[in-house]
Structure 1
């Protein structure tokens, strides 16, 4: 069986990782290849330096009322049998980054055009034989959804219309919505001659807009979400005020997919072949953090206040002989991840209350991540208020690895979590997690067995439950070492391996 995977990210290649989807696109193909499948993975090249390239061919694509030539290259791999392919075009490399941040007046505009051209090139390469025609075409997130639209509605690709389409939703909150017309970044601007069924492609909330994610959900043969619990949650309408994030407007389509037997929930896996070096020390972590902060500071002429306060806090931590628990958190700063921590609570914020609880046990909290500018500023000011909080605005692989290894408790209070990888990485290192019992977190962390969890019917109830569970966890850590060690061992021995995952892929998706 031959599978072609189409995605925006791929951590098998340099610089092509932003979020957890890149880990999946790195690991799943290797596990599938080990089962005897042949796998090709294709992403845009974004203008990155990728080392040796082997020219495969080029395609001519009609796009935005002009003719575009795109080149396809294979990036040779020495360690696995997966064929890594990139497509090159000036539009992909304008920002030298995977994603662009458009303002709120035209959300997704730049990326939507970029990925629409990328998708058109996929279809043309399949038609012309530049890409080997697969048994299954596996599309990931909204960035690849136009492939399904073109294969189903463009007569030129009629020969490919019966290809088996599998569509994986990694993040339902990002749907890539654009107008149908009257904009340079719109479906009819990209493909002016396309005849399509607007009832299948329109956004339920904004019928004049094209919704790539909804389109792929409706057009694919199988729709895959990345945990069993999340496959149930997405069939329920979101209630933002009540703190529930489910179908995000697409719940009816997902209900219909479930009724048709199309919707499948399969939990992502984790790589357990990585061996950690000898046990590090807290001093080594703090030294690594200081070095990382210096490298971030050196990138700008003006000193970032967040980096300055963080460095002062690191110096305080270095000078202190504090022996309390180390609570850690690693992840993108988005509302999905930290909304609960930003809720008003007792004339302050939940993050302040979290710091107070940790301080009762003489502990510290280190948060590593960047993302939304307002949230970055909120965490910077919270760090200034709380002497036991260190917020590191950025991402450093070395720092993150040491935080997983050295933390006593990993904090992951996501408002929704399709699967989550950070909790698996923490558990792999023997660090119990405190999680919101939703999606993949519910499917991976068992309360008082492999970690701690909480839930609630409103944002306030969730915040209160978070603080209660945090107190409970730190009390076990402090007062019951035997129980704590048992939870640590259970977390470390938990396994969410890719071998089982890809067996389900083959059985239920392919």
Structure 2
């Protein structure tokens, strides 16, 4: 793209915590979106900038070039921020210009070099991360107000980490030029809202920005009146609000009801309903990149290599020893039934239904009883919450037909998609979900809870098996009933089973379709 074309093109700035276009730049699904959308969005009429913190890692990339140093006011003092641009060679789907940027400051590595998030525990939720992203956000505002004033046309903020930009754009006079730029907010996961105190804490709105009066009604949390809620602020202050599937966009306008097993607006349903009524809330399904897995290594080899790496990091972790022993025993046993796979972060969202007690035992134990009778196997891959991981490890250890791989490895994940017969994803809520799309791409029918993006992508009896219920216990029992249907189909209806494999492989949820909706509804360009 020459200078004249660039000057005429609309420039969209993606502001996010994760970016899987950069090495080790992701933790969850948001990183996939930030990697893929810019490539499919950029063309002769649109250029895209993507900016994240460096975390004292990305700025050391061999292709990183220092472009600018500038100061911001933070914690009542001047802080110097450094801007780096990283030129990437492999942007396979890109038809236009995508620029990768990172901001560097010592505070961006407050969780350790390369660590994107901190875990401060239940007593100080989001404290370290909120401070880090509050600095990141004011740096973005300063950059776009000054050096990039004529460069950026649209701001696209992703999740609460970038939501502070919306507050500063609205209420800080120095950043008034940002109001002329359209601002879009994407909700990737409403369960994480970044709530922090207004004042009285080192990690609070007043501590970060003492020079500004920011405590306005539309940014205060509706449940905790002494706290700022950046997610609520972005919902109320941005020109467009985007949920990552049509069903999820409807669910979050309703109040959550844990007693019925329903996760909705998580306290922000009134704000989201108002956004919907004003035509600012849009549900647009995430896409998937359809390419073949070129890995030729066997699952066993990849799994053993991954376990070896995990053991080096945690040599006393019994869960890794158990996994290695289980896989070694499987090499001498034939499996005649289905290989069920499950990949995802170990969080309550992902495993609460599996751990719901039925007749005094977790639903997962009942599921494994059924799988053992069918001579099948279950392979679970994931890391996350320590207590939940321990529960999964304990159950897995009791069943010869199950292995829990307590970590994450991209090659291992790809291999599991290829070797599996049925993909298990019984999330309590799911804004969109990427794992079910990758599983279907590889030809795995999916067993899912009929909510959020799972409802929009997996169709019962065609590409998988879905279930629903009105209480946690009903949901757990319904999951087991659907699992029995899947086992029966696998064993007794081979023609139907192979039809479902083919339907799953043929299902398409492609980014270009989503991008057209982005341009029409979110960007209006």
Q: Mapping of 1:269-348 within 5 angstroms?
A: 269-272=287-290, 274-277=291-294, 284-300=298-314, 302-348=315-361
Write the distance in 2 (CA, Å) between the matches of 1:286 and 1:241: 42
**Residue deviations 1:386-438, cap 9 Å, x none?**
11110000001111111101100000000000000000000000111000000
1:3 equivalent to 2:15? Answer: no
Shift of 1:36: 3.5
Contact 1:42 1:84 in 2 (8 A): yes
> 1:71-470 to 2 correspondence within 5 Å?
71-80=82-91, 81-94=97-110, 95-96=112-113, 97-130=115-148, 133-272=151-290, 274-277=291-294, 284-300=298-314, 302-470=315-483
C-alpha separation in 2, matches of 1:198 and 1:154: 12
> Counterpart of 2:400 in 1: which secondary structure?
coil
Q: Which moved further from structure 2: 18-27 or 120-129?
A: 120-129
Q: 1:380 to 1:278 in 2, by over 3 A?
A: closer
Cα deviation for residue 130 of structure 1 reads 4.5
| Kept after mapping to 2: 8 A contact 1:9/1:25 | yes
CA contact (8 A) 2:63 2:88 kept: no
Match of 1:50 in 2: 61
- In 2, the alpha carbon distance for the partners of 1:276 and 1:208 equals 50
2:377 and 2:466 mapped to 1: Cα distance?
20
Q: Deviations over 1:272-315 (max 9, x none)?
A: 1x2223777xxx21232122111111223x42110111111111
SS in 2 for 1:123: helix
The alignment partner of 1:298 has SS state of helix
CA contact under 8 A between 1:217 and 1:253: conserved in structure 2? yes
Q: Does 1:67 align with 2:59?
A: no
Gaps of 5+ in 1: none
Distance 2:300 2:149 in 1: 48
SS, match of residue 61 in structure 1:
strand
CA distance in 2, matches of 1:207, 1:149: 17
Q: Residues 131 and 163 from structure 1, CA distance in 2 versus in 1: closer, same or farther, beyond 3 angstroms?
A: closer
Residue aligning to 1:24: 33
Q: 1:367 to 1:132 in 2, by over 3 A?
A: farther
Relative distance call for 1:169 and 1:123 in structure 2 (3 A) is same
- Secondary structure of 2:56 counterpart: coil
Q: For residue 128 of structure 1, report the CA deviation from its aligned partner.
A: 1.4
How many Å apart are 1:132 and its aligned residue? 5.2
The 8 Å contact of residues 76 and 211 in structure 2, kept in 1 or not, is answered as no
Q: Is the 8 A contact 2:56 2:104 kept in 1?
A: yes
TM-score by length of 1: 0.97
On the 8 A contact 1:341/1:349 being kept in 2, the answer is yes
2-side partners of 1:423 and 1:255: how far apart?
28
Q: State how far apart, in whole Å, the 2-side matches of 1:290 and 1:480 are.
A: 34
Q: TM-score, normalised by structure 2?
A: 0.94
- Between the two proteins, the alignment pairs up a number of residues equal to 505
Match of 1:500 in 2: 513
Structure 2 distance, partners of 1:145, 1:298, is 38
- Whether the aligned pair in 2 keeps the contact of 1:58 and 1:130 (CA below 8 Å) is no
Give the distance between the partners of 2:411 and 2:19, measured in 1 at CA: 20
Whole-Å separation in 2 of the counterparts to 1:62 and 1:295: 42
1:483 is the counterpart of 2:500: no
CA 396–79 in structure 1, closer or farther in 2 if over 3 Å, else same: closer
Q: Distance in 2 between matches of 1:264 and 1:118?
A: 27
CA contact 2:82–2:105 (8 Å) conserved in 1: yes
Q: CA RMSD in A?
A: 1.2
- What are the superposed Cα offsets for residues 62-106 of structure 1, whole Å, 9 maximum, x if unpaired? 001111000001001224431000000000123120001102111
1:256–1:35 Cα change, 3 Å: farther
Measured against aligned partners, the alpha-carbon deviations of 1:100-136 in whole angstroms (never above 9, x if no partner) come to 1102111100000000000000011112114754221
Q: CA deviation at 1:160?
A: 1.9
CA distance in 2, matches of 1:376, 1:304: 12
Which blocks of at least 5 consecutive residues in structure 2 are unaligned?
1-9, 92-96
Distance 1:148 1:386 in 2: 50
CA distance in 1, matches of 2:393, 2:306: 17
The 1:162/1:278 distance shift into structure 2, 3 A limit, reads: closer
CA contact (8 A) 2:397 2:403 kept: no
SS in 2 for 1:10: coil
